[in-house]
């Protein structure tokens, strides 16, 4: 896989994160249900501090000692593990083509791709990942987003997507392979550090461009989720 392939995958490392936000920057504004604006703004400030002073420095250190190819392979491994989540939600949304392609990707990448460290399914056959989660499934079923909520450490969300976290976590193999909550949190933290290391500077760039960071993140998150549900 050449350098351009690695860069493309690196830019996809924060699903629903900085890359998606940048894609939506400047999109038409829509009214957001935000009755908890005071709390949400405060929690955004807390998450901003955690990112800038904890997550980002660790991610920079990780980037300094591990080559980009290795970090991208780690990202692919974790993405491959989430096959059950993508499969079930593609099926629940009646996206049978996506479910079939996801199954083919998992079979090829888990074997030829060495447990998902490489992505021959995309490189050789053009099979793309079909990222679907239970929040999107509920949206397809007609469930409204509800009020906007900023979650500690996890960032922007809404009532529907917050409710969907439990089903999504139940389809994450880490939930079952890890021995207890501390190990689960450790693995998820490492996964986040690795993903962040592939997009160093993206968050700061967004923050610099935003006049008021909280409503910017809020509006773009809701627009992005709406777009994914409608696709």
**Whether residue 92 has pLDDT greater than 70:** yes
Confidence of residue 161 (pLDDT cuts 50, 70, 90): very high
pLDDT of amino acid 31: 82
Q: Give the residue-averaged pLDDT of 178-202.
A: 96
Tokens of 180: 């207890």
pLDDT of amino acid 73: 99
Q: Give the residue-averaged pLDDT of 14-30.
A: 49
What distance in Å separates the CA atoms of residue 109 and residue 67, rounded to the nearest whole number? 21
> Residue ranges of the domains in the chain?
32-92+133-230
Helix (H, G, I), strand (E, B) or coil at 31: coil
pLDDT of amino acid 29: 58
Q: Give the residue-averaged pLDDT of 143-154.
A: 98
pLDDT of amino acid 141: 98
Q: What angle do CA 150, 14, 73 make, to 5 degrees?
A: 145
Cβ distance 90 to 23 under 8 Å? no
Higher pLDDT, 199 or 22: 199
**Whether residue 24 has pLDDT greater than 80:** no
pTM confidence score: 0.86
């Amino acid at each position: 896989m050449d350098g351009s392939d690695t860069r493309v995958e690196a830019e996809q490392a924060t699903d629903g994160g900085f890359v998606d936000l940048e894609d939506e920057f400047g999109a038409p504004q829509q009214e957001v249900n935000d009755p908890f604006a005071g709390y949400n703004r405060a929690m955004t400030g807390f998450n901003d501090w955690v990112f800038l002073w904890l997550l980002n420095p660790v991610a920079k250190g990780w980037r300094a000692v591990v080559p980009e190819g290795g970090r991208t392979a780690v990202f692919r491994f974790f993405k491959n593990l989430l096959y059950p989540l993508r499969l079930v939600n593609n099926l629940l949304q009646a996206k049978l083509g996506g479910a079939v392609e996801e199954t083919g990707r998992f079979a090829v990448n888990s074997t030829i791709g060495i447990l998902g460290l490489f992505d021959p399914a995309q490189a050789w056959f053009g099979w793309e990942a079909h990222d679907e989660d239970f929040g999107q499934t509920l949206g397809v079923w007609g469930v409204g987003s509800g009020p906007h909520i900023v979650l500690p450490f996890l960032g922007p969300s809404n009532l529907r997507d917050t409710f969907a976290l439990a089903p999504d976590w139940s389809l994450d193999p880490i939930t079952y392979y890890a021995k207890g909550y501390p190990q689960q949190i450790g693995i998820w933290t490492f996964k986040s550090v690795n993903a962040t290391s592939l997009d160093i500077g993206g968050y700061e760039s967004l923050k610099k461009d935003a006049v008021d960071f909280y409503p910017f993140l809020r509006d773009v998150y809701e627009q992005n989720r709406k777009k994914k549900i409608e696709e």
